[in-house]
Amino acid sequence: MPAERTAYEKHAPASAVVEAALAGSRSAVFWLEDAPATSYDALTSDTTADLAVVGGGYSGLWTALLAKRRNPGARVVLLEASAVGWAASGRNGGFCEASLTHGEENGRARWPDEYDELERLGHENLDALEADVRDLGLDCQLERTGALSVAVEPHQVEWLRGEGFLVRDAVRAEIDSPLFLAGGWDRDGCALVHPARLARELARAAAELGVEIHEHSRVTGLDTATRGPVAVRTTGGTVTADRVALATNVFPSLLRRTRLMTVPVYDYVLMTEPLSDAQLAAVGWANRQGLGDVAHQFHYSRLTADNRILWGGYDAIYHPGRRVRASYEDRPETFRRLASHFLAAFPQLEGIAFTHRWAGAIDTSTQFVAFHGLAAQGRVAYAAGFTGLGVGATRFAAEVMLDRLSGLCTPRTRLAMVRRKPLPFPPEPLATVGINVTRWSLDRADHRQGRRNLWLRALDAVGLGFDS
């Protein structure tokens, strides 16, 4: 089958229009600028803890907060190498999904016997997160608006048929784009949050409960040689802890056994200026749902509290060697492509300006959802590999880590998804070759009416396939 142009390519605006839209943008994370600043002192001396948490993103913050809620008398110390929420937790799109399995198709393919239980637990987790936001007074702009998935190519329409299906006129009545051919609205399975505010508010609430938070305190290693407490070594002192929870996600694991289980993949984002009343009326979006298309290389989008539009996704870039570097965050060709696709989707917004452009690294695993584990005779727990699904799933992972560190047998810890590890990624240079061939193949499928080539079908056959 010959390659075809995608809808975004067929309706691309002139390059001068794209350049004008990007001309005033800054390389900066809107969310981090828009959240009230916080700071916590670095660790400067040795100390002890009942629980040491490594990582100040969502995983670590939820673990520390829920640990104090379970046992208010426990001494909990959280260690962050930089600042709370500065990495993925402060840079993502703010889609807080109920799904723990990256969607039904991925979940049923990998854990068919327990998918219904995973779906139930995922919705319970999202409901509990919403209750926590309310009960703890977290100022994170949570909106339980659901998510709208849209088809932008004729072959994608059938993928959306089912509960919540919207024909072309109905989906355009929700969000008006000439590219949208059909839609599926999951009204309850997704909430939107301000990601950086959520991280900083979790830190505030945790500190108020008595968690000791130390920023700029990079952990350099763990000493688990004895059967007693674990020594957590940092740049400013050592924390001797009875139990340790590792929440380092995309960054190199402190445990050698898990270092090949994730790779960092860079995701890119644009943010517009606030829409005028006329611009917003031209788009619609009165129900403020999260938005995503269903291509293999997909886009995601949403409104902010002040009616900006965030537009991200499509390119997912892996750099050889599993490196995480600030220099990878500014990729002009990707930002031009995103801006072009945005204006193809919303030609009525021609003339709008993008104010911010940024990127962040996603910790991807071969099962495309988080994996969980214990080490050091049950004294160290870990979770990583969220693959862009961490806003909600990190809370679930925190509960799993705390259950396991306490030696509890719960519906969460009995899950095959929790007990089974993903296949590791191969070492270099095979990792680079395999990831880039997969990305090329997904792009090829989008240009051939969704048809998956031999490489993608082989990955599907061995349980490594994924389509969005």
Residue 468 has pLDDT above 90, yes or no: no
For 289-310, write each residue's pLDDT tens digit. Answer: 999 999 999 999 999 999 999 9
> Quick check: is 172 in a domain?
yes
Mean pLDDT of 105-122: 95
Phi first, then psi: give them for residue 177, nearest 5 degrees: -135, 135
> Rounded to whole angstroms, how far apart are CA atoms 288 and 217?
39
Q: What local confidence, expressed as pLDDT, does residue 238 receive?
A: 98
Do 377 and 278 lie in a common domain? Answer: no
Average pLDDT, the chain: 95
Of 78-87, 201-210, 234-243, 448-457, where does mean pLDDT reach its minimum? 448-457
Which residue from 218, 211, 228 is spatially nearest to 77, judged by alpha carbons? 211
Query: Is 168 exposed, middle or buried (CB count within 10 Å of its CB: 0-12, 13-18, 19+)?
Result: middle
Range of the domain at 20: 1-30+147-186+263-364
Of 19-23, 25-29, 317-321, 451-455, where does mean pLDDT reach its minimum? 451-455
Return the number of other C-beta atoms located less than 10 Å from residue 243's C-beta: 24
For 13-32, write each residue's pLDDT tens digit. Answer: 999 999 999 999 999 999 99
Do 254 and 334 lie in a common domain? Answer: no
> Rounded to whole angstroms, how far apart are CA atoms 438 and 456?
7
End residue of a domain, out of 335, 364, 393: 364
Mean pLDDT of 57-65: 98
- Cα 140 from chain centroid (whole Å): 16
Mean pLDDT of 101-111: 92
Do 270 and 254 lie in a common domain? Answer: no
Phi first, then psi: give them for residue 74, nearest 5 degrees: -75, 145
Do 257 and 267 lie in a common domain? Answer: no
Residue 462 has pLDDT above 80, yes or no: no
Residue 291 is part of a domain; what is its CATH number? 3.30.9.10
> Quick check: is 178 in a domain?
yes
> Rounded to whole angstroms, how far apart are CA atoms 342 and 321?
32
Residue 1 has pLDDT above 70, yes or no: no
> Quick check: is 71 in a domain?
yes
Do 135 and 152 lie in a common domain? Answer: no
Do 278 and 419 lie in a common domain? Answer: no
> Quick check: is 273 in a domain?
yes
Do 290 and 338 lie in a common domain? Answer: yes
> Rounded to whole angstroms, how far apart are CA atoms 73 and 251?
31
Q: What local confidence, expressed as pLDDT, does residue 457 receive?
A: 87
> Rounded to whole angstroms, how far apart are CA atoms 126 and 116?
16
The model's confidence at residue 459, banded by pLDDT at 50, 70 and 90, is: confident
Do 24 and 41 lie in a common domain? Answer: no
Q: What local confidence, expressed as pLDDT, does residue 450 receive?
A: 84
Which residue from 410, 446, 130, 455 is spatially nearest to 296, judged by alpha carbons? 446
> Quick check: is 382 in a domain?
yes
Mean pLDDT of 135-159: 97
Q: What local confidence, expressed as pLDDT, does residue 2 receive?
A: 63
Cis ω on the peptide bond leading into residue 429 (within 30° of 0)? yes
Return the number of other C-beta atoms located less than 10 Å from residue 223's C-beta: 13
Do 315 and 353 lie in a common domain? Answer: yes
> Quick check: is 343 in a domain?
yes
On whether the CB atoms of residues 310 and 323 are closer than 8 A, the answer is: no
Do 222 and 100 lie in a common domain? Answer: yes
Q: What local confidence, expressed as pLDDT, does residue 237 receive?
A: 98
Tokens of 231: 């020594």
> Quick check: is 468 in a domain?
no
> Rounded to whole angstroms, how far apart are CA atoms 165 and 295?
17
> Pick the residue with more confidence: 444 or 73?
73
How many domains are contained in the chain?
A: 3
> Rounded to whole angstroms, how far apart are CA atoms 443 and 156?
15
Of 47-61, 335-349, 395-409, 454-468, where does mean pLDDT reach its minimum? 454-468
Do 5 and 141 lie in a common domain? Answer: no
Do 105 and 120 lie in a common domain? Answer: yes
Which residue from 405, 401, 435, 430 is spatially nearest to 418, judged by alpha carbons? 401
Residue 43 is part of a domain; what is its CATH number? 3.50.50.60
End residue of a domain, out of 317, 336, 364: 364
Residue 467 has pLDDT above 60, yes or no: no
> Quick check: is 466 in a domain?
no
